[in-house]
Structure 1
Amino acid sequence: MAEEGIHYTFESAGFPGELLVVRQVVIDERLDRPYRARVELAHHDIDADIAQYLGKDCILEIHRGANVRRLVGLVRHVRESEDQHNAQQNVLCEVVPAYHLLSLRRDTRIFQGMSAPDILQEVLSGGLSPYGRSVELRLEDTYEPREYCIQYEETDLDFADRLMQEEGISYVFTHDGDQEVMVLRDRNAQHPDVASGALVQFQPHNQNILDVEPVHRFRLRHRSRITSVVARDWDWTKAGSMKVEAEDRTTDPAGTDRESYEQGEGRSLTITGYSGTAYAKEDSTRQAQIRREMHVRDAITGAGTGSVIQFAPGTVFELTGHEVAGCDGRYLITAVQHISLPPGGVDTDGTTPEAYHNRFECIPLDTVYRPTRRTPKPRIPSIQTAMVTGPAGEEIHVDEHGRIKVQFFWDRQNPADETSSCWVRVEQPWAGPSWGFWYVPRIGMEVVVHFVDGDPDRPLVSGCVYDGANALPYPLPDEKTKSTIKSNSSLGGGGFNELRYEDLAGSEQIYTHAQKDYNEVVEHDHNTLVHNDQTNTVDVNQTQTIHNNQTEQVDVDQTMTIDGNRTVVVEGDYSETVLGTETRTVTGAVTETFDATETRTVTGDLTETLEANETIDIGSNQTETITGNHTLTVSTDMTHTITGALTKTVIGGITQMTMGTYDVTADAGYTVVAPAGVKILAAGGLSVSAPGGVTHVDSQKSWVGLWKFDGGANNFGWCSFKIDVIGMQVGAANLKSEFAMIKTEVYAAELHVTSGTAIGTFGTWLRNAGASVEVQPNSEV
């Protein structure tokens, strides 16, 4: 095609168009990259201040008749050219999209609960709006929300590029208006045809077809590429296998499978949809697919040169007329370089170029385009610290997995509350299924944060550090030998639990403090060995329950002091053995109650001393068995009251002695049964008083001492009667005695016989050492 119709225009608010002449243009455009146009201008105002061009909007156009290729952007760089002429000023300008200037914005910030498109919309809109630019998201795929996504020390451009590369999103720029528009796409079908028409004729340089814009050179390249991808991650909320894995598998034309196993490649999988106990969604299947599509994208690529000024990345053309079979077809342009050299110039390959030509790269349209993951994700190889956060009024903020919220000190956007971060897991020294260590950092603590595999999106709290707001439990270095685990009561504080170690030589100590309750559970044995003293102090009550036996051994003395009452309940038997002596002192009253029998065995002597009265109340019988002697000494009076009968059985004799009188009173009668005889020794005399009469019926009676009978009527009947009387006095108003045989030895006797007295014997023997008998009338001897 004839080149005389090619010309260029450049307009900018920085300098009038009529003063500018475009001398040279080189434009580099590529999918997923900001374009860059290097323009050399001749300015007729040699005194112009070129600094005024910087940052200005500009429009560069390539004209071929009515066919106009337009490029809109900003002047990013401007300088004077080394090739200067007296009548003009040569200026070199670099034109870029406003998106390119996002490389000058660096930030560290957090996005929570947002999908990649949502994050891109926020970042790009915020970055482009100061330049009057906008972004359009023409996306059809489904993108799961990311629980946590950090832009960590990245430029806005790198961060946005990285997100789009991770998600398989491409972008292009359109130039229809006064400002370029950034357009995001994720499907090949969204790419339009080349503006001048999709059908492009292949025409080598040796042919001259004047009415078309042809492709002069074109070749295809075939490469061996990865054919399959296995994407893997893990979901720690899943019980059992935590594996999250998907694969997308194909082979090359020869049937060979070349697999790429990618775990943590570029980024971890998106595991999301937390339902309160576990995550419900993940994108492993989609990630495996777009990663494989990225690898196989360049298996077949095309490259060529031509003069189609409307060639642009992200547009589709159909090549026709190529002499090599298989080259004709529909292609998606991935990169293009537009070149215009001044007359007489030489192209980079040494040939004399046209006023305009381009070089381009493309892929077959049936190959899914995915951007290369060229932008690495930042890694945090070291640790950081952050502050634990939570709702106002709370001291501990934690979820069911023990995760906490933190605010990094570099975070200048999020408030220091429960929204400051995602839930962050907390490392513990030991973590088993419902067992292990558990300490939860509290709001206001400064914690140490690691990042799994250095990934900023995967923070992990590994510990805490003291700082100016959180002082150490004990002053240092004064208490440097102390080590402690000390908590604080919540809410409000004021109390603590503590396990403390003192390692000062000579003062070693383990100290335990429980603010309220202290509970111990030992499933088997519990042994305590104290080599010196032990003191236990209980300020209120103590309860000890032993479900089996208890043995207590005290090698020396035991002293127990009870200021109040003591109650011991033994539901079974009670046995107490004292190998030495036992002394019990009770200053108050003693009450003993035995619901059954009591047996006491004293192998030695038993001495009981009562300094006051003793009362024994026996509800039933009492039996005493004494194998030896029984001595009872009563210092004053002794009274026995028996409401029933009294029976005494004495195998030996009974001796009773009293210094006073001996009185026996029997209301119902008094009976003495003595088969061997009864002997009464009464040195002071014997007096029997029986107003109702005395009847003696025995074979023989013997009295020694003074014998005196007083009574209205006394009857004596004996088979044998012997009286040895030293002194005898009988006074009878009516005495009748009948003896079969009577022997009387009287040394001094007096017999007063009153009327009505008779003594009769069948045989009488009387010895009288000195006796007198006085017989009254009506008496007979």
Structure 2
Amino acid sequence: MDNASSAADFIQASRILKINSPLGEDQLLPERVTIEESVSSLFEIRLVARTKKEQIKPEELIGRLLDVSVEVQQGDGEDIPAIRRPFNGLVTELNEGPPITRGLRSYAMVLRPQMWLLTRRSDCRIWMDKTSIEIAEILFSEHGIPAPDTSGVITSPPAQHYSVQFNERDFDYLCRRFEEDGLFYWFSHEDGKHKLHVADTANGWLGPSASAQGEKRVRLAQGSSDRNHINEWARRFSYVPGQRAGADWNFETPRMVPGTMTPSLVQMPDATKRELYEYPARISSVAEAERAQKLRAQASEADHDRVFGASTSRIIETGRRFTPYEVAHPDNVYGEHVIIKSIQTVVDRSYETNSNEPEYRNEFEAVPSRVPMTPHRETKRPRIEGTQVAIVAGPEGEEIHPDQYGRIKVWFPWDRKAKKDGSDTCWVRVAQTWAGGGWGGQTIPRIGMEVMVAYVDGDPDRPLVTGVVPNTANGVPYDLPANKTRMVMRSNTHKGQGFNEMSFEDEAGKEQLFLHAQKDHDIHVLNDTRERIEHDRHQHVANDKTGFVGGDYEQVVTGNVSIAVGQNKLTEYLLSRTMNMFGNFSDFMQKMRIPDPFNFAKGNYQMFIEKNKSEIVHGGSSEIVGVAKSTIVGNLLQTTVGKKMSLIVRGRYDADIGRVHNINVGHQFNIRVGENVLITMSKEGDVTIKAKRIRFQADRIDEN
């Protein structure tokens, strides 16, 4: 190179490397580029260039797309332009070097795909009912990146009902979703842009690029240094696991543990003894297990047959098919392969020396084109150790919102997009004190309550509510620490005022079991119930009280029995004293040889009725009074007997009538005294007197 040449004389025309940048034509002069590409990885282009500008401002290149191209075939004048292979990437690093000769300055840059921007943002986010393809499209749109090419996806992956991105970069979350669904990806380049390709089968591999002019055959010549030759080719076979197996738990099928095993298609001795088993396999059915283990087996099989090579061919590209051929040994037939990884190095020293012989070399890995590069699940899944806080969610206007399993909806403080109405989250199981076939505990946390959430196997996609905790909005039922000795179970009335409560007071000397029913209190006992009260019992019924005894009723009262009906005004009462129900009465019963079918109380029995008393006995009615019986009627006493009435007085019968005593007999009236006196009066008007002697004594006797 002529030392007299100035920087202004340098141009990129006819050179192996060329840069097209926002700085303008020929402002960056590339000297060296290293391009690393791999399936299911972000490419990286490391570029060293000279600049004619004294200094480049970072914002002029950082975050902007830049093209660097490699000459594949020289042109022939203006009629036949050179064929170049483009690479396009986003400038993510800019390293400023020292000034060098001819007023130039050296810079080093790193170019990456726009998808790399997904590594610059992390989030805590819930994805509902989205496939991994849909997530890729959403994330690319949010980052302002062109949508990926998903034409290579033959079978669309299933949507995951509930998937959590927890403290993960967008890129990591998307990659692990791709890995779970067996999707692999790579990039293609054009002038001014690059594109992400996604596939799930080998049918998704691309054919030759435009720079290859449709030619997919590449000459293989071991040890050759000629241009556009494969000069190293080594095939490696690896031992892979004989089968993949996995299992998991699904609470909706408790009698069957979902799981399966899938043998490898690669034949190995005793292969089935080399099984890779995993639990939990993140599946809920046998169908999901079969799909998951098939993808895991395919990932292992992709490692079995691998080619490692090197070449000077400038048309070999990651993700594209090619077929090697030999001229020296035409009988050696090579099948179609696909580049899955490559490292290309290009050096151009023409800006500094008189040499115009650039250096180009690449190293690559390839697999047969029939092999899908199903990825291993290498992206680390987030784990949540311990518990987290969540708030119970539900529709507006509701207080309790469970499903048939008692699961609830919650929203998490880390979810910045939460709608807080339960529409954007999954049903979460609630741990109970006991669970059985129709029995056990049932406590449903209510909307707005703060709950503690654990995660089954630490998986953010598997939350489990383990308890409810109070806060300033949902305080404790009794003031603390004033009521620190009280244990309480209180629930508030649904959409109303009131509560049910059972509480225990444990303070010494004040121990108490308190039960409050806001409305009804029902007790159902299939056999016996026993109650023992060591002191008093008080019962207050504000309205009616009814009772039914299907058999006998027995009650022993060792003191007095008082029954008051109404207040103060009595229509029936015991006048002078209460009945002694044990002393003389018991002796009387024994003397009368009356069997004792009763249990006697030892004290008094009093009954007070404010208004009326009615008594109906369908059979017979007997009353035995041991000493005396007094009946006081304030106004009228009337006794009606349907057939016969007998009155037996063993001693004396006295009647004291204040004014009038009327006796009305329908047929015959008889008066008998002893054996000698009989007076008979009939309705016909006959009066018969039978006696030994009749005496009349009066002041006057009138005859009519």
Using the size of structure 1 for normalisation, the TM-score is 0.74
Aligned partners of 2:340 and 2:366 also within 8 Å: yes
Give the Å deviation of 1:663: 13
Does residue 485 (structure 1) correspond to residue 506 (structure 2)? The answer is no
Does residue 290 (structure 1) correspond to residue 305 (structure 2)? The answer is no
Pairing 1:374-773 to 2, within 5 Å after superposition: 374-491=378-495, 493-563=496-566, 578=600, 596-600=619-623, 606=628, 608=630, 615-624=638-647, 629-635=650-656, 640-646=663-669, 653=675, 668-671=685-688, 678-679=692-693
Aligned partners of 1:337 and 1:360 also within 8 Å: yes
Does residue 226 (structure 1) correspond to residue 241 (structure 2)? The answer is yes
Amino acid at match of 1:538: V
Counterpart for residue 148 of structure 2: 135
Greater alpha carbon shift after TM alignment, 215-224 vs 319-328: 319-328
Give the Å deviation of 1:324: 12
Q: 1:624 to 1:78 in 2, by over 3 A?
A: same
Aligned partners of 1:81 and 1:91 also within 8 Å: yes
Amino acid at match of 1:457: D
Q: 2:341 aligns with which of 332, 335, 345?
A: 335
The whole-number CA distance in structure 1 between the counterparts of 2:629 and 2:226 is 146
The whole-number CA distance in structure 2 between the counterparts of 1:611 and 1:56 is 114
Aligned partners of 1:99 and 1:128 also within 8 Å: no
Aligned partners of 2:299 and 2:376 also within 8 Å: yes
Q: 1:594 to 1:115 in 2, by over 3 A?
A: closer
Aligned partners of 1:125 and 1:135 also within 8 Å: no
Give the Å deviation of 1:92: 0.8
Amino acid at match of 1:201: R
Counterpart for residue 704 of structure 1: none
Q: 1:172 aligns with which of 169, 172, 186?
A: 186
Counterpart for residue 114 of structure 1: 130
Does residue 311 (structure 1) correspond to residue 316 (structure 2)? The answer is yes
Amino acid at match of 1:484: V
Aligned partners of 1:232 and 1:243 also within 8 Å: yes
Q: 2:161 aligns with which of 136, 139, 147?
A: 147
Q: 1:615 to 1:174 in 2, by over 3 A?
A: closer
Give the Å deviation of 1:105: 1.1
Greater alpha carbon shift after TM alignment, 216-225 vs 365-374: 365-374
Give the Å deviation of 1:51: 5.6
Task: Map Cα deviations across residues 447-483 of structure 1 (whole Å, 9 max, x no partner).
Answer: 1111111111111122222222222222222222222
Give the Å deviation of 1:221: 1.4
The whole-number CA distance in structure 2 between the counterparts of 1:445 and 1:451 is 19
Counterpart for residue 720 of structure 1: none
Give the Å deviation of 1:377: 1.0
Amino acid at match of 1:468: T
The whole-number CA distance in structure 2 between the counterparts of 1:368 and 1:589 is 97
Does residue 161 (structure 1) correspond to residue 175 (structure 2)? The answer is yes
Larger radius of gyration: 1
Give the Å deviation of 1:591: 6.6
Counterpart for residue 31 of structure 2: 23
Amino acid at match of 2:515: T
Tell me the percent identity.
Answer: 24
Aligned partners of 2:411 and 2:425 also within 8 Å: yes
Task: Map Cα deviations across residues 40-74 of structure 1 (whole Å, 9 max, x no partner).
Answer: 11223344445632222100111032442211011
Give the Å deviation of 1:526: 2.0
Give the Å deviation of 1:545: 2.8
Does residue 11 (structure 1) correspond to residue 11 (structure 2)? The answer is no
Q: 1:252 aligns with which of 244, 267, 270?
A: 267
Aligned partners of 2:16 and 2:348 also within 8 Å: no
The whole-number CA distance in structure 1 between the counterparts of 2:638 and 2:551 is 39
Give the Å deviation of 1:87: 3.5
Aligned partners of 1:6 and 1:355 also within 8 Å: no
Pairing 1:353-372 to 2, within 5 Å after superposition: 355-372=359-376
Aligned partners of 1:26 and 1:338 also within 8 Å: yes
Q: 1:620 to 1:342 in 2, by over 3 A?
A: same
Counterpart for residue 581 of structure 2: none
Give the Å deviation of 1:639: 5.8
The whole-number CA distance in structure 1 between the counterparts of 2:101 and 2:676 is 165
Give the Å deviation of 1:560: 2.1
Q: 1:334 to 1:82 in 2, by over 3 A?
A: farther
Give the Å deviation of 1:515: 1.2
Give the Å deviation of 1:668: 4.6
Give the Å deviation of 1:422: 1.6
Aligned partners of 1:170 and 1:185 also within 8 Å: yes
Q: 1:58 aligns with which of 41, 66, 83?
A: 66
Aligned partners of 2:492 and 2:498 also within 8 Å: yes
Give the Å deviation of 1:690: 10
Give the Å deviation of 1:544: 2.2
Q: 1:306 to 1:665 in 2, by over 3 A?
A: closer
Give the Å deviation of 1:624: 4.8
The whole-number CA distance in structure 2 between the counterparts of 1:110 and 1:543 is 58
Greater alpha carbon shift after TM alignment, 473-482 vs 593-602: 593-602
Counterpart for residue 747 of structure 1: none
The whole-number CA distance in structure 1 between the counterparts of 2:268 and 2:121 is 45
Give the Å deviation of 1:419: 1.6
Using the size of structure 2 for normalisation, the TM-score is 0.82
The whole-number CA distance in structure 1 between the counterparts of 2:141 and 2:614 is 95
Amino acid at match of 1:175: H
The whole-number CA distance in structure 1 between the counterparts of 2:343 and 2:380 is 26
Q: 1:452 to 1:324 in 2, by over 3 A?
A: farther
SS state of the match for residue 43, structure 2? strand
Amino acid at match of 2:230: V
Amino acid at match of 1:99: M
Amino acid at match of 1:137: T
Give the Å deviation of 1:186: 1.1
Counterpart for residue 743 of structure 1: none
Q: 1:181 aligns with which of 181, 192, 195?
A: 195
Q: Note the aligned Cα RMSD (angstroms).
A: 3.6
Does residue 102 (structure 1) correspond to residue 118 (structure 2)? The answer is yes
Aligned partners of 1:102 and 1:155 also within 8 Å: yes
Aligned partners of 2:411 and 2:422 also within 8 Å: no
Aligned partners of 2:244 and 2:297 also within 8 Å: yes
The whole-number CA distance in structure 2 between the counterparts of 1:611 and 1:403 is 70
Aligned partners of 1:227 and 1:296 also within 8 Å: no
Q: 1:144 to 1:624 in 2, by over 3 A?
A: same
Q: 1:666 to 1:453 in 2, by over 3 A?
A: closer
Amino acid at match of 2:384: I
The whole-number CA distance in structure 2 between the counterparts of 1:245 and 1:542 is 61
Q: How many pairs align?
A: 641
The whole-number CA distance in structure 2 between the counterparts of 1:445 and 1:231 is 37
Q: 1:186 to 1:615 in 2, by over 3 A?
A: closer
- Unaligned regions of 5+ residues in structure 2, if any? 1-13, 74-81, 351-356, 573-595
Aligned partners of 1:389 and 1:420 also within 8 Å: no
Amino acid at match of 2:129: G
SS state of the match for residue 168, structure 1? coil
Aligned partners of 1:389 and 1:407 also within 8 Å: yes
Structure with greater contact order relative to length (CA < 8 Å, sep ≥ 6): 2
Q: 1:201 aligns with which of 196, 219, 235?
A: 219
Counterpart for residue 706 of structure 1: none
- Unaligned regions of 5+ residues in structure 1, if any? 272-280, 345-352, 568-573, 657-661, 692-781
